[in-house]
Amino acid sequence: TVSRLQPFGSTIFAEMTALATEHDAINLGQGFPDTDGPASMLEAARQAIADGLNQYPPGPGMPVLRHAIAADRLARYGIVHDPEREVLVTVGATEAISAAILGLVEPGAEVVLVEPYYDSYAAAVALAGATWRSVPMAQDGDRFVLDLDALHAAITPKTRMLVVNSPHNPTGTVLTSAELSAVAELACERDLLVLSDEVYEHLVFDGRTHTPMASLPGMYERTVTVSSAAKTFSVTGWKTGWACGPAELVDAVRTAKQFMSFVAGGPFQPAVAHALEHEQAWVVDMRNSLQRKRDLLADALSGAGFGVYSGGGTYFLCAEIPGTGPHNDIEFCRTLPERAGVAAVPISVFTDHPEQWNHMVRFAFCKRDEVLVEAAERLGRLGV
């Protein structure tokens, strides 16, 4: 392995999923739903295969999907994208993130991350030969918030890009409009690009709404927004995502993407387009059901002695490991599948300041009710 990738090893999701399988544990570690997306979307993918859509689709993505993404963003957020040049279909949001960083950040430049951060950001920055500074989120009661002073302090003359993720994995934080505005002002003032990871845009609870970074004043021209069918339509295995933004930025993402995968999976694209056009009610039902599941898991974790942070979005909850004394989230998660029959992921692996975060773990609640109830019972018997 080249030196710049040596710190990354294999991902925590792979490690915890393997442990869950080994111990036949309920996997609340890696985030993936245990029910399928909308039936008409699954049927549309089968139909696309039967219709022979099995060769390379166009590099930027099938027109039907690019148009559906642009129409969805216009209807939902009032953001206008030219589907020909301002929407790019990618192999999941993961490829959109890597291609955006590879296409827009020079070697030696700096990227600012907010920690805890989704693991692929730092790895993509390393692949680009750039460096990152990570700014820990601050705690406000049972919510994690942006530390705006620290964010300002992290910007240097070398900073090219700021990565923002709301709703936020792993904390579940949905940034407030004041936080979003402060980030936008900072980006404009310091002339930074923003990579806005909005894969959980539809998973916001308690009456919250999602505000895209690109909709703020001065932000459209400097923002690459990424999202994915994985979360919106419960198809993490389809690896169908997208990047949207002004043509010059999306051109750079497309240039890099061409040599990473060339194109994304053909038959999934018309199916996701179909879902964007016809399955919005399904998404609303899923959001409502996830909000209930969040409450179910939060109650169970509190009952088992975990300190639960209130998440306003995503399908993850963060919780403090019960008990006093020195905590080690990685050790806790490595032994939890065997001890409790439940898997979780440690938070400190998503940070550069592990000592600030090693008392916390993340649980996914995108599971059938009976699975969550069983997980709750197992955690209740843990007796930690």
Tell me how far, at minimum, the Cβ of 141 lies from ligand GLN, in Å: 24
Distance between CA 34 and CA 368 in Å, rounded?
Answer: 7
Query: Residue 93 binds which entry of ligand PMP, ligand GLN, none, with Cβ cut-offs from 5 to 8 Å by kind?
Result: ligand PMP
Binding partner of 11, given ligand PMP, ligand GLN, none, CB within 5-8 angstroms per partner class = ligand GLN
Residue 30 binding target from ligand PMP, ligand GLN, none, CB below 5 to 8 Å by type: ligand GLN
For 47, counting Cβ atoms within 10 Å of its Cβ (0-12 exposed, 13-18 middle, 19+ buried), the class is middle
Query: Which of ligand GLN, ligand PMP, none sits in contact with 92, Cβ below 5 to 8 A by type?
Result: ligand PMP
- Site for ligand PMP, rule CB under 6 A: 31, 92-94, 118, 165, 169, 197, 199, 228, 230, 236, 241
Output 93 or 155, the one with its CB closest to ligand PMP: 93
Q: Smallest distance from the beta carbon of 238 to ligand PMP, in angstroms?
A: 8
* Residues contacting residue 208 through CB under 8 Å, at least 6 positions apart: 174, 312, 313
Q: Which is nearer to ligand PMP, 200 or 306 (CB)?
A: 200
Residue of minimal Cβ distance to ligand PMP: 92
| Minimum CB–partner distance for residue 202 and ligand PMP (Å) | 13
As a whole number of Å, the CA-based R_g of the chain is 20
Residue 57 or 170: the one with the smaller Cβ distance to ligand GLN is: 170
Residue 165 binds: one of ligand PMP, ligand GLN, none (C-beta under 5 to 8 A by kind): ligand PMP
User: In this complex, which beta carbon is closest to ligand GLN, that of residue 32 or of residue 205?
Assistant: 32
The one of ligand GLN, ligand PMP, none whose footprint includes residue 215, by CB under 5 to 8 A per kind, is: none
Q: Which is nearer to ligand GLN, 31 or 103 (CB)?
A: 31
Q: Using the minimum distance from each CB to ligand GLN, give the nearer residue, 193 or 343.
A: 343
CB of 344 to ligand GLN, least distance (A): 11
User: Which of ligand GLN, ligand PMP, none lies near 241, with the C-beta cut-off 5 to 8 A by kind?
Assistant: ligand PMP
**Residue 8 tokens, joined:** 């990354």
Comparing CB distances to ligand PMP, the nearer of 31 and 61 is: 31
Task: Please give the structure tokens belonging to residue 137.
Answer: 């989120």
What one-letter code names the amino acid at 57? P
Residues that bind ligand GLN (CB under 6 A): 11, 13, 30-31, 169
Gap between the Cα atoms of 198 and 215, Å rounded:
13
Residue 228 or 358: which CB sits closer to ligand PMP?
Answer: 228
How would you list the strands of the sheet with 345-346, edge to edge?
307-308, 316-320, 360-364, 345-346
Shortest CB 330 distance to ligand GLN, Å: 16
- Min dist. Cβ of residue 353 to ligand GLN (A): 20
Q: Binding partner of residue 379 among ligand GLN, ligand PMP, none, CB under 5 to 8 Å per kind?
A: none
CA dihedral of residues 91, 92, 93, 98 (deg, nearest 10): -40
234 binds, among ligand GLN, ligand PMP, none (CB under 5 to 8 A by kind): none
Residue (31 or 267) nearer to ligand GLN, CB:
31
